[in-house]
Amino acid sequence: MIEFQKRTLANGLTVIAHEDPSTPMAAVNVLYKVGSRNEAYDRTGFAHLFEHLMFGGSIHVPNYDEPVQLAGGENNAFTNNDYTNYYLALPKENIETALWLESDRMLSLAFNEKSLDVQRKVVVEEFAQRYLNQPYGDIWLLLRPLAYERHPYRWATIGREIDHIRRATMEEVRAFFDRYYRPDNAILSVAGDLPPERVFELAQKWFGEIPAGGFKPDSLPVEPEQTAPRRLEVRRPVPASVIYIAFHMGDRRSREYTVCDVASDILSNGTSSRLYQRLVQEANLFSQVNAYVSGDVDPGLFVVTGYVMEGVPVERAEAALWHELELLCTEPVGAYELEKVKNKFEATQIFSELNVLNKAMNLAYFEMLGDAALIDTEVAEHNSVTAQEIQEISRRLFRRENSSTLLYLAESAE
């Protein structure tokens, strides 16, 4: 159990403190509840652009990385559909360096044309290198708009079109920052050998004077129920054809998510899993297979993928994937198999909680989902999943009319 204390400052900033006397390090995590789901259809990629802009310096700190390095720390960030996360780990004696840096860029990020132009070019180059010029890089640029018709999950975090970032103006960038990068839309979590009262005292010192933004959550369009199968076939100069099949499923806070997470582990968690044993080892249809859940705040996707072996007809490989999904619908999972994936999940969770930075990040994440205390219920929730639940939800999900299939074919494929 991860013990923590939580307070909300007058400006709306949620502060979580976890005391961990086992480490000389402290972790500081700032989560902003903004991701690609908060962008406009004709102005995408802004949340990811800000992941870069936030390291471009604030009014009082022109170089963010330098003070972190001088304090013996490391830092990084990531953006996804639902939130943007900034994190640091450094010796606990230097924790105020981290809080100073994070509070200063929350209050007074440096906006200038030079910084915007530099980061705009960095993101445009990243878009080109990682998504357009890399083998398989555009898969999610194709799969998302295939699976979603209305919801902002239609586009990837990098953005829908590269020109959206190229054309981003200073006025648009400032407006995005002023709306989302406010204390009342953020969660600060601190883990380390520090008493919670000290953490709250320092949070008040460094963040307490930042004005609240009067934040109100966005009203997002609801994705309509899918009623017919969707398919897209493309050809690319890649070494092997790959099949992606996506099914709409419940959101991260739903019971359905937990059941689907267990089901995905049964299918593809490790070399003893069903898909690997049957489709890679025995049938030799795929070189690699995977099944996973997106875990989005709004209803997400259950995705099954496979890289087809050379010479194997794609139709045969796709049929084999469907056969394995249909078995989940028709045959209850055995007790041993179910217990095995539950034990794996529990071991993974316990191992992740040994790291002070992971704890800070996870506490902020679960608070974003609704309550940081959920961090302590994950294992019990997974352990309570039954074979009957897996079968029932598989029947509901793994239907042709709920599927979006991307056939990403090698140009040499028959």
Structural domain 5-207, CATH architecture: 2-Layer Sandwich (3.30)
Query: Which pLDDT score, from 0 to 100, does residue 113 have?
Result: 87
Token pair listed for 350: 């316990």
User: pLDDT of 217-264, one tens digit each?
Assistant: 999 999 999 999 999 999 999 999 999 999 999 999 999 999 999 999
Distance CA 278, CA 168 (A): 49
| pLDDT tops 80 at residue 83 | yes
Query: Which pLDDT score, from 0 to 100, does residue 16 have?
Result: 98
Run of H or E residues at 260: helix 255-268
Count of other CB atoms within 10 angstroms of residue 141: 17
Mean pLDDT on 308-334: 97
Comparing C-alpha atoms, which of 350, 333, 330 is closest to residue 385? 333
Token pair 């924790």 is at which residue?
95
What residue spans in the chain does CATH classification 3.30.830.10 cover? 5-207, 230-410
Confidence of residue 111 (pLDDT cuts 50, 70, 90): confident
Distance CA 153, CA 296 (A): 9
Contacts of 3 (CB under 8 A, 6+ apart): 18, 19
- Whole-number average pLDDT of the chain: 95
The CATH number assigned to the domain with range 230-410 reads 3.30.830.10
User: pLDDT of 18-30, one tens digit each?
Assistant: 999 999 999 999 9
Cα-Cα-Cα-Cα torsion 131, 137, 142, 147, nearest 10 degrees, comes to -110
Query: Which pLDDT score, from 0 to 100, does residue 414 have?
Result: 57
Count of other CB atoms within 10 angstroms of residue 278: 18
Distance CA 36, CA 34 (A): 7
Whether 248 and 412 have beta carbons less than 8 Å apart is answered as no
Confidence of residue 400 (pLDDT cuts 50, 70, 90): very high
User: pLDDT of 334-388, one tens digit each?
Assistant: 999 999 999 999 999 998 888 999 999 999 999 999 999 999 999 999 999 999 9
Mean pLDDT on 48-55: 91
- Whole-model pTM: value is 0.95
